């Protein structure tokens, strides 16, 4: 047994035992004993005080993506938990391990609708369409280490995801001598040998196979194994929506990203494939083009679905072969499959990569060409740069024109939410810069997206993010509108604009008020010098880009969408 100490201190010790060195949150009176625990162990773990719980939860989600271990977030009861729910939902849809610790009213006040009281089991309801894998509430200080260990195991096992642990205020002050438990290590599942033989037989019978890889649970060894599997069989590989760093985009077998704004030629290739091998991806709405690239429930293509979560297999698609396996194991098993010397689809694979390369070409747009901007960022930024973004049409340029290295080279380099949560990019960038100060981090945000969590500029300043050797740069694309909504309005109700106009501040002046360097850029030619200066700056930098609102996607304009809608009418 350990020496008696307050349960709040025991909780911090349990986090340290799990290898946690940074936690994010907004302080609250409901967990003062935990905050005192952070103070007591400040030489081993730090608490990053954020400016809003949504931003804190996004930072913890980014921590989970980068590390593969649960990101840690602390919030107070009621409003704190409701604000944090956006990060919890993002972690659930993105299959990111995360633990949200929520302060709760004292035990003797429960079920009276006490100040800020919420029943979190009801609120976050675990389930396949909930927001958490498990919601637990700790009533005994002596059992707190047990609950923490279970939270880590649950967040990591099978399909990773978020867990909520509720902490009554009075429990945290109670003394406990309970020892902390060992570091949680997930149990890994290997695919059955018989299933591997069946998969090989399906490959031998195919003429137009395609791999779609993504999801969570990948590590460097698995990414290398995936590449060797693809090379052995000369398989074209696409990456699922916002998991573009799963496979090296520079590789001759890379076919592009299968998500929003998909290359039309790649979309057609998915439809024409006679075998789809889906590795780690959920085959959700965005990766399947609204469930059209693969028909529901029975795809026209032969489908092999490999996923760590048994609840995902067969839930939407009736696959021809389903393998429950961890990505860290599945890719290593696949690379052992012996390929024949002569493969009938080598030209199919070559053409898929040629289509990807051709997709990098774009007609010039003036006065601000975001394709040129993204290519300049890629050219000037270090190879291990982390790119982050939230939701909005602006992200299409980032996805189309930045080439992500496979995570075997630099770990995760893409932090983007598949849940489509606005405001994710800036907090994710701040977290990445704090967790990996040696790496440069570039956030690309829309004007509406940025102001959802823009106050986290203060968090970056307060904790020294982006002050070297790595840099922190936020590029704000300002078109004066909620562009995605405006695009859909023009498509469905051409010319009838309502509620999608934005009235923005001077973003550069706002950033300077938070202690950032900042510059407004109105032309393509002015961007590269501004970005080069940001990479040499002694503080984080915001670059405010102005964009004509008519430039709505990488492929079309609002005017063209409106005219097409009017013709249909």
pLDDT single digits (tens) 424-458? 999 999 999 999 999 999 999 999 999 999 999 99
Q: Are residues 392 and 330 in the same domain?
A: no
* Residue 375 within any structural domain of the chain: yes
Q: Are residues 39 and 154 in the same domain?
A: yes
The confidence score (pLDDT) of residue 546 equals: 97
Q: Are residues 28 and 128 in the same domain?
A: yes
Q: Are residues 383 and 240 in the same domain?
A: no
| CA separation for the pair 235, 254 (Å, rounded) | 9
Q: Which of 358, 393, 421 is the last residue of a domain?
A: 358
> Is residue 166 within 8 Å of 120, Cβ to Cβ?
yes
Return the residue matching tokens 């509406």.
Answer: 448
Q: Are residues 354 and 374 in the same domain?
A: no
Q: Are residues 376 and 247 in the same domain?
A: no
* Residue 363 within any structural domain of the chain: no
| CA separation for the pair 37, 16 (Å, rounded) | 11
The confidence score (pLDDT) of residue 188 equals: 93
Residue 310's CB: how many other CB atoms inside 10 A? 13
The confidence score (pLDDT) of residue 111 equals: 78
- The pLDDT mean for the chain works out to 95
Residue 275: in which H helix or E strand, if any?
strand 275-279
| Banded model confidence at residue 1, pLDDT cuts 50, 70, 90 | low
* Residue 350 within any structural domain of the chain: yes
Q: Look up residue 498 and give its two tokens.
A: 């309502």
Helices (H), 303-446: 327-334, 346-358, 370-380, 395-401, 407-410, 425-435
* Residue 339 within any structural domain of the chain: yes
Q: Are residues 205 and 241 in the same domain?
A: yes
Residue 114's CB: how many other CB atoms inside 10 A? 14
Distances in Å between the Cα of 513 and the Cα atoms of 99, 213, 412, 442 are 33, 42, 31, 20
* Residue 185 within any structural domain of the chain: no
pLDDT single digits (tens) 214-266? 999 999 999 999 999 999 999 999 999 999 999 999 999 999 999 999 999 99
| CA separation for the pair 254, 23 (Å, rounded) | 36
Q: Are residues 354 and 433 in the same domain?
A: no
Per the structure, the complete domain to which residue 334 belongs is given by: 193-358
* Residue 188 within any structural domain of the chain: no
* Residue 78 within any structural domain of the chain: yes
Return the residue matching tokens 């890379």.
Answer: 254
Q: What is the mean pLDDT of residues 483-494?
A: 93
Q: What is the mean pLDDT of residues 173-182?
A: 97
Starting at the earlier edge strand, list the strands of the sheet with 254-258: 254-258, 237-240, 209-213, 275-279, 302-307, 321-324
* Residue 68 within any structural domain of the chain: yes
Q: Which of 116, 144, 176 is the last residue of a domain?
A: 176
> Is residue 31 within 8 Å of 170, Cβ to Cβ?
no
pLDDT single digits (tens) 7-20? 999 999 999 999 99
Q: Are residues 207 and 346 in the same domain?
A: yes
pLDDT single digits (tens) 59-96? 999 999 999 999 999 999 999 999 999 999 999 999 99
Q: Are residues 32 and 159 in the same domain?
A: yes
The confidence score (pLDDT) of residue 146 equals: 97
The confidence score (pLDDT) of residue 127 equals: 64
Starting at the earlier edge strand, list the strands of the sheet with 517-521: 414-416, 386-389, 441-446, 472-478, 541-546, 517-521
Total structural domains within the chain: 3
CATH number of the domain residue 200 falls in:
3.40.50.1220
| CA separation for the pair 15, 525 (Å, rounded) | 48
pLDDT single digits (tens) 363-416? 899 999 999 999 999 999 999 999 999 999 999 999 999 999 999 999 999 999
Q: Which of 148, 176, 204 is the last residue of a domain?
A: 176
Q: What is the mean pLDDT of residues 172-179?
A: 97
Q: Are residues 34 and 159 in the same domain?
A: yes
Burial tier of 501 (Cβ tally within 10 Å: 0-12, 13-18, 19+): exposed
Q: Look up residue 403 and give its two tokens.
A: 């080439």
The confidence score (pLDDT) of residue 123 equals: 87
| Banded model confidence at residue 114, pLDDT cuts 50, 70, 90 | confident
pTM > 0.85: yes or no? yes
Q: What is the mean pLDDT of residues 100-121?
A: 83
Q: What is the mean pLDDT of residues 494-513?
A: 95
φ/ψ of residue 346, rounded to 5:
-60, -35
CATH number of the domain residue 377 falls in:
3.40.50.970
3-state secondary structure of 405: coil
Q: Look up residue 58 and give its two tokens.
A: 């996004």
Percent with pLDDT over 70 in the chain: 99
The confidence score (pLDDT) of residue 128 equals: 63
Dihedral sign, CA of 200, 201, 202, 207? positive
The residue length of the chain stands at 569
Q: What is 50-65 written as a DSSP string?
A: -SSHHHHHHHHHHHHH
Residue 468 has pLDDT above 90, yes or no: no
Q: Are residues 338 and 379 in the same domain?
A: no
């Amino acid at each position: 047994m350990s020496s008696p100490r307050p349960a709040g201190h025991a909780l911090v010790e349990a986090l340290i035992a799990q290898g946690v060195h940074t936690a994010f949150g907004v302080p609250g009176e409901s967990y003062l004993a935990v905050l005192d625990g952070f103070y007591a162990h400040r030489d081993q773990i730090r608490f990053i005080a954020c400016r809003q719980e949504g931003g804190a939860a996004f930072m913890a989600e980014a921590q989970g993506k980068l590390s593969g271990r649960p990101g840690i977030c602390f919030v107070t009861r009621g409003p704190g938990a409701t604000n944090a729910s956006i990060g919890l939902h993002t972690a659930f849809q993105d299959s990111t391990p995360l633990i949200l610790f929520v302060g709760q009213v004292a035990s003797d006040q429960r079920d009276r609708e006490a100040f800020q009281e919420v029943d979190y089991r009801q609120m976050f309801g675990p389930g396949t369409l909930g927001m958490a894998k498990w919601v637990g509430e700790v009533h005994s200080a002596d059992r707190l280490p047990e609950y923490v260990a279970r939270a880590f195991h649950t967040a990591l096992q099978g399909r990773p995801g978020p867990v909520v642990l509720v902490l009554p205020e009075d429990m945290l002050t109670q003394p406990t001598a309970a020892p902390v438990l060992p570091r949680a290590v997930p149990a890994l599942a290997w695919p059955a040998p018989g299933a591997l033989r069946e998969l090989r037989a399906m490959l031998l019978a195919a003429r137009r196979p395609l791999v779609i890889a993504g999801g969570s649970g990948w590590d460097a060894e698995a990414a290398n194994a995936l590449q060797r599997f693809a090379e052995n069989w000369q398989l074209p590989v696409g990456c699922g929506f916002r998991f573009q760093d799963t496979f090296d985009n520079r590789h001759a077998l890379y076919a592009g990203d299968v998500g929003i704004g998909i290359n039309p030629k790649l979309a057609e290739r998915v439809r024409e494939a006679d075998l789809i091998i889906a590795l780690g991806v959920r085959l959700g709405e965005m990766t399947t083009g609204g469930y059209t690239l693969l028909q529901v429930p029975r795809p026209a293509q032969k489908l092999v679905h490999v996923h760590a979560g048994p609840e995902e297999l067969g839930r939407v698609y009736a696959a021809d072969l389903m393998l429950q396996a961890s990505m860290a194991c599945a890719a290593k098993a696949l690379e052992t499959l012996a390929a024949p010397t002569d493969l009938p689809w080598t030209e199919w694979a070559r053409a898929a990569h040629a289509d990807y390369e051709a997709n990098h070409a774009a007609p010039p747009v003036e006065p601000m060409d975001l394709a040129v901007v993204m290519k300049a960022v890629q050219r000037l930024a270090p190879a291990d740069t982390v790119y982050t973004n939230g939701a909005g049409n602006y992200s299409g340029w980032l996805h189309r024109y930045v080439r992500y290295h496979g995570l075997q080279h630099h770990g995760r380099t893409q932090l983007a939410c598949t849940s489509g949560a606005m405001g994710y990019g800036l907090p994710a960038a701040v977290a990445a810069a704090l967790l990996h100060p040696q790496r440069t981090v570039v956030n690309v945000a829309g004007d509406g997206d940025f102001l959802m969590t823009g106050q986290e500029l203060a968090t970056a300043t307060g904790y020294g993010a982006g002050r070297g050797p790595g840099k922190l740069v936020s590029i704000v694309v300002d078109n004066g509108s909620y562009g995605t909504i405006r695009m859909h309005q023009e498509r469905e109700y051409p010319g009838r604009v309502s509620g999608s106009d934005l009235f923005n501040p001077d973003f550069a002046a706002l950033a300077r008020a938070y202690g950032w360097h900042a510059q407004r850029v109105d032309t393509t030619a002015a961007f590269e010098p501004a970005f080069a200066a940001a990479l040499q700056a002694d503080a984080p930098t915001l670059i405010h880009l102005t964009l004509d609102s008519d430039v709505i996607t990488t492929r079309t304009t609002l005017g063209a969408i409106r005219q097409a809608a009017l013709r249909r009418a």
